[in-house]
Amino acid sequence: MGRIDDTVEEIRRMETHSSSVVAVKAARALTELVERGYANLDDYERALEQNSGALRRANPSHASLYTTQREVVDSVVGQATDLEEAERLTEAAVERVVDRVENGKDRAAASAAETFDDGEVLLTHDYSSTLLGAIERATPETSLTVYVTEARPRFLGRKLARRLTETEGVEVHLGVDGAAGYLLQNRPVDRVLVGMDCIVDGVLYNRIGTFPIAAVAGEFDVPLHVVGSSAKVIEDGFVFENEFRPPSEVSLEPIDDVSIENPAYDATPARLVDTVITDTGRFAPE
């Protein structure tokens, strides 16, 4: 297999990696086409579209993979007058999208850090490297209390809680997912702040368990803010495909006559999200 084929297989196995890591790996894989020595522009553009399509299909739930691949293809196909120009456009587009993805998270974290108030109490769910970066930027000058839910069944929330204990100025509490309603009702939570897998047509797709937390937050008038790279925000052209994780994550032993449901993500309606914070600004989804 060629290197792009190898990357496709690797991306299919990258279920636990952040979407930014997947998007960067896939974008860089396209530069292999420049080295193949195509005979003419038509063959090159056809190969670019085919290989980009294979990379996108390898992990269809990752919006940033979709947006970066589409940008590279759209920057090349129909834009070049000869093969050499197409190759230059490909390399430039790959560098551009990689820079935006890699630096977009940092810029989004910096933007979110500006929103913290000293003594603020947050509730969050799952593990978001962008959210973690925002908290690390804001502290220790700003003291925070953070309630983290486990994010069952894979418990990535526990990972975030452990990381937060290494951050000066943060008081960390860890609770089970089912306790989110209790915490929002009985603890002085100022807002819910979560990361995102993507936002498509105003709908937030994030780790399973986000939707019920958002619904309870709405019941108790606790604002819900979302932080992430603008590469994960798509207005149209992308259809989110959920991942269904192995049943063994829920029950190690099969249970007779029981079908185990283990979706990776859920969908939170725009009306439950107050503010989205990205590297390009803040907005309310519609």
Domain CATH number, residue 13: 1.20.120.420
Predicted TM-score (pTM) of the model is: 0.85
Q: For residue 11, what pLDDT band results from cuts at 50, 70 and 90? A: confident
Q: Which is the catalytic residue, given 126, 177, 197, 279?
A: 197
194 shares a domain with 272:
yes
Instruction: Please tell me the distance from the alpha carbon of residue 91 to that of residue 286, in angstroms, as a whole number.
Output: 35
270 shares a domain with 165:
yes
**Cβ atoms of residues 137 and 159 within 8 Å:** no
28 shares a domain with 95:
yes
Whether 197 is catalytic: yes
Q: Which amino acid is at 274?
A: D
| pLDDT exceeds cutoff 80 at 97 | yes
- Those residues with Cβ within 8 angstroms of residue 212's Cβ, 6 or more apart along the chain or in another chain: 180, 181
Q: For residue 1, what pLDDT band results from cuts at 50, 70 and 90? A: very low
269 shares a domain with 172:
yes
The total number of structural domains that make up the chain: 2
Domain of residue 90 covers: 3-107
